[in-house]
Amino acid sequence: MRISNRFAPRLMSRRIALSFVIAMVLIASGFAISFYSYNRYGEDMELIRRTYQVTGALENTLSLIKDVETGSRGYVITNDTTYLEPYRTALRLLPGQIRQLRALIVDNKVQIQRRVLLEKLIEDKLAVTQVRLGVKVSNIKNQAISAKSKRSMDVLRRHVALMVDTEQTLMGVRYRQAERSFRNTLILIFGLSMLTFLVLALSYRMLEEELARRQKNEDQLHEYEDQLKGQIRQLESSNEELERFAFVASHDLQEPLRKIQSFANLITDRYGNLFDSDSLLFMGKISHSAERMSKLIKDLLNFSRISNHQDTFKTVQLSDIVQRILDDQELRIKGLDVQVEVGSLPAISAVASQMDHLFNNLISNALKFIRPDVRPMLRIQAQAVDGDKYDGLIPGRQYVEIIIEDNGIGFEEKYLEHIFKVFQRLHGKSAFEGTGIGLAICKRVVVYHHGYITARSRPNEGATFVVVLPESQSIQHHDRPTSTEAYSYPAG
At 375-386, the pLDDT tens digits run 898 999 999 998
- Residue-wise pLDDT for 130-155, tens only, equals 777 775 444 555 667 777 777 888 88
434: left (phi over 0), alpha (psi -120 to 50) or beta: left
Q: What is the mean pLDDT of the chain?
A: 77
The full set of domain ranges for the chain reads 2-213, 253-309, 311-492
| Residue 449 DSSP symbol | T
Alpha-carbon span 424 to 430, nearest angstrom? 15
- Residue-wise pLDDT for 247-278, tens only, equals 666 666 667 777 777 777 788 777 777 777 77
Alpha-carbon span 363 to 357, nearest angstrom? 10
| pLDDT exceeds cutoff 60 at 435 | no
| pLDDT exceeds cutoff 90 at 488 | no
Q: Are strands 398-406 and 377-386 parallel, antiparallel or unpaired?
A: antiparallel
Alpha-carbon span 321 to 360, nearest angstrom? 9
Give the residue from 429, 448, 108 showing the smallest Cα distance to 302: 448
Instruction: Answer whether 431's CB lies under 8 Å from 424's CB.
Output: no
User: What is the pLDDT confidence band of residue 468, given thresholds at 50, 70 and 90?
Assistant: very high
Domains 2-213 and 311-492 share a fold: no
Strand-pair partners of 234: none
Position 436 scores a pLDDT of 61
CB atoms within 10 A of CB 436: 17
Q: Are strands 347-350 and 377-386 parallel, antiparallel or unpaired?
A: unpaired
HSE-CB for 438 with a 13 A CA cutoff: 17
Determine the residue type at 356: D
Angle between helices 109-133 and 140-251 in degrees, nearest 10: 150
pTM of the model: 0.45
Instruction: Answer whether 477's CB lies under 8 Å from 470's CB.
Output: no
Alpha-carbon span 321 to 345, nearest angstrom? 10
As a whole number of Å, the CA-based R_g of the chain is 55
Fold of the domain built from segment(s) 2-213: Four Helix Bundle (Hemerythrin (Met), subunit A) (1.20.120)
Q: Which CATH number fits domain 311-492: 2.30.110.10, 3.30.1330.10, 3.30.565.10, 2.40.50.420?
A: 3.30.565.10
- Residue-wise pLDDT for 116-135, tens only, equals 888 888 888 888 887 777 75
* Sign of the dihedral defined by the CA atoms of residues 470, 474, 477, 479, in that order: negative
| pLDDT exceeds cutoff 60 at 480 | no
